[in-house]
A and B are shown apart, each in its own frame.
Chain A
Amino acid sequence: MDITVHFPIIIVLIGIFASFIIPAANLYKIKIGEIISLASIALMFVLGIYLRIQLAIDGPFTYHIGGWPAPWGIEFKVDYLGAYMVLIITGIGFLTLFYATKDLAHDLTENAQGIYYPLYILLIAAMAGMAITNDIFNLFVLLEVSLLSSVAIICIKENEATIEASLKYLILNALGSAAVLLGIALLYMITGHLNMTFIAVELQEVYPQYMNVIIAAMALFLVGFGVKAALFPMHVWLPDAHGSAPSPSSAVLSGLVIKIYTVSLIRIYFQVIPRAVITAIPIMEIVLWLAAIGIILGSMFAIVQDDIKKLLAYSSVAQIGYVFLGISLMSFTGFQGGLIHILNHAFIKAMLFLSAGVIIYSTGLRKINDLKGIGFKLPFTMTCFTLGGIAMIGIPGTNGFISKWYLALGALEAGRPIFVLVLLVSSMLNGVYYLPIIVNSFFGETPEGFDKLKIDPVPWQMKFTLLVLAFGVVFFGIFPSLPLGILESATEYIYGS
């Protein structure tokens, strides 16, 4: 029997099995748990590349779990967007874990370190499953797995701030989950299916009869996934949670976790709900304006922060707005721009959070005012931070420029030039809060006692991770055709040409 046909499910199962094995390995030695977790994510990444190649040859294909065909069994569907997300999740997930192997010892007790790896792998596996599942209830289960494991990797560092932030995160996201489940219940009631393809076919026929039910379900999905993805008025949990978590957790939560919920929303809105319903009600208009307000206000909140990680967390609120802006513009280029920002922001934000993590690791400083002159002590780290900052602003040559370019073109294509203005204002605001940090770190007047500041040496693993992420930022900025090529097929497949 050919093992390669089972790869879609194996990707998810590797993570789940590894998360069960690692605690046992930890009993013997934590180093072994570390190696197993790195190896399993690397394997997931390799399988992701294989699926991507398979996809390029055959086009989108489905996998039936347990050999049960679609209306009865759970189905995994590898399409362009799913394979793209699997590659981003496992790739950035691997780099962040590689960094975490050194950083965690600083933040966590030895016992907590042992638990961190299985939780992290479980989170990555659940997200990879969410990217490729085609069953709406399976999506809900994986959503809850990712919710519980992401709460756990925040509160694993025990202090007042993290415990309170993670409780807030848990309660609000549980509300979101309940809303999503209610939406699923409504769709199941009117169609009798849980498979997304079958629901879509069924809805195509019956939607004039059940217009109100479908609108209610769409509203519930918007609230549910909106809370989880931190769409503007529902973002209140994000700054605390992402700001106080250990640095590798912040990088993964900001870079990957909020994106996967956006992708789930895209799947339901564009692949399940009939297009006639989407265009009949102003739902995309609502998302568009919420995203635009989020972009501006998220940046404004970031300006007044004095903690560097809180600042980056508020910047994530603004950046997830770009993704929502792109998908709700209802134009081909805008959709592509929103999707490419998923990749670009994953690279940039992971790099920024990990640079902030290096600063905290080696100096213990996290107040922005204390960071004056830090560029001389940690030149490599601050160079990466600078690169991240200018990528956020969108200077050409970095990948942040590519997303903004496509979003602006999309706004013009949709005939909404006002959103180009939103993008410009947001770039300016990004400059307002990133540039002072960068300028002060290299040219600022150093505070008293700065020369006596103790700098712990930075391990090569952390520097290497930053180097790879920085390379990604520049590479995708200069050669954007690789992801754009993938996304053109993804957009055609989901959005239609």
Chain B
Amino acid sequence: MKVELSAIVNNYHYLFALTLFLIGSYTMLTHPNLIKKIIGLNIMETSVFLLFVSTGYVEGGGAPIIHGEAAVGAYVNPVPHALILTGIVIAISITALALSLIIKIYEYYGTLDTDEISRLRR
């Protein structure tokens, strides 16, 4: 399959989003420290937000508000932004719940290392 370089250069934000997604999920799945797992989760969610928001962007577009009858030029798509605001709120709730559970784990085990915790449980 032939991929033109210009296609990659013009859509570099998708590439960044993909890289962030991989970094985030790698950190989350492999790092033993629970706090860093949550940071990885947040990086991963941010990458999805970046991808989603960047789809609405139009080069040189303005806010989609009509001033009188002079409706000219391109408009950016506001829908992804509105959706991602919801997404950010959800990500914050998940982070808050996870961090409060981590506090409890620290109270019980005195460590945040998952390897250490599974050793203590045995």
Contacts and interface: CB of A to CB of B under 8 A. Distances in A.
Interface in A143-198: 144, 147-148, 151-152, 155, 158, 160, 163-164, 166-167, 170-171, 174-175, 177-178, 181-182, 185, 188-189, 194
Contacts of A158: 104
Q: Which of A155, A171, A178 has the most CB of B within 10 A?
A: A178
Contacts of B94: 144, 147-148, 170, 174, 177
A137 interface: yes
Interface string B47-68: 0100110010000000000000
Contacts of B102: 167
B101 A166 contact: yes
B44 A170 contact: no
A486 B109 CA distance: 51
Contact of A181 (B28, B52, B121): B52
Nearest to A147: B94
Given A174-B41, A175-B25, A167 B98 contact: yes
Contacts of A175: 25, 28-29, 41, 44
B55 A185 contact: yes
A160 B121 CA distance: 9
A155 B28 CA distance: 21
Interface in B81-109: 83, 86-87, 90, 93-94, 97-98, 101-102, 104-105, 108-109
B34 interface: yes
B48 A182 contact: yes
B64 to A, nearest CB: 13
Contact of B97 (A137, A148, A164): A148
A137 B83 contact: yes
Given A160-B108, A164-B117, A170 B101 contact: yes
A141 interface: yes
Contacts of A167: 34, 98, 101-102, 105
A452 B95 CA distance: 48
A163 B41 contact: no
B28 A188 contact: no
A170 B98 contact: yes
Given A155-B101, A170-B98, A141 B28 contact: no
Given A170-B97, A178-B48, A188-B52, A141 B105 contact: no
Contacts of B101: 155, 163, 166-167, 170
Contacts of A177: 90, 94
Tell me the dominant secondary structure on chain B's binding face: helix
B98 A185 contact: no
B97 A188 contact: no
Given A137-B83, A148-B93, A181-B87, A174 B48 contact: no
Contacts of B79: 194
B45 interface: yes
B48 A185 contact: yes
Contacts of A164: 105, 117, 121
B104 A163 contact: yes
Contacts of A148: 93-94, 97
A144 B101 CA distance: 17
Contacts of A189: 55
Given A167-B34, A170-B97, A174-B94, A182 B51 contact: yes
A152 B45 CA distance: 21
A292 to B, nearest CB: 26
A262 to B, nearest CB: 22
A188 B51 CA distance: 11
Contacts of B109: 160
A113 to B, nearest CB: 19
Interface in B7-55: 21, 25, 28-29, 34, 37-38, 41, 44-45, 48, 51-52, 55
Nearest to A137: B83
A324 to B, nearest CB: 23
Interface in A100-154: 137, 140-141, 144, 147-148, 151-152
Contacts of A185: 48, 51-52, 55
Interface of A: 137, 140-141, 144, 147-148, 151-152, 155, 158, 160, 163-164, 166-167, 170-171, 174-175, 177-178, 181-182, 185, 188-189, 194
The 8 closest A-B pairs by CB, nearest first: A167-B101, A185-B52, A144-B90, A163-B104, A160-B108, A182-B48, A181-B48, A189-B55
27 contacts: A137-B83, A144-B90, A144-B94, A148-B93, A148-B97, A152-B97, A155-B101, A160-B109, A163-B108, A164-B117, A166-B101, A167-B98, A167-B105, A171-B28, A171-B41, A171-B98, A175-B25, A175-B41, A175-B44, A178-B25, A181-B45, A181-B48, A181-B52, A182-B21, A185-B48, A189-B55, A194-B83
Given A160-B109, A163-B105, A178-B48, 16 more contacts: A148-B94, A155-B101, A158-B104, A160-B121, A163-B108, A171-B28, A174-B98, A175-B25, A178-B44, A181-B87, A182-B21, A182-B48, A185-B51, A185-B55, A188-B55, A194-B83
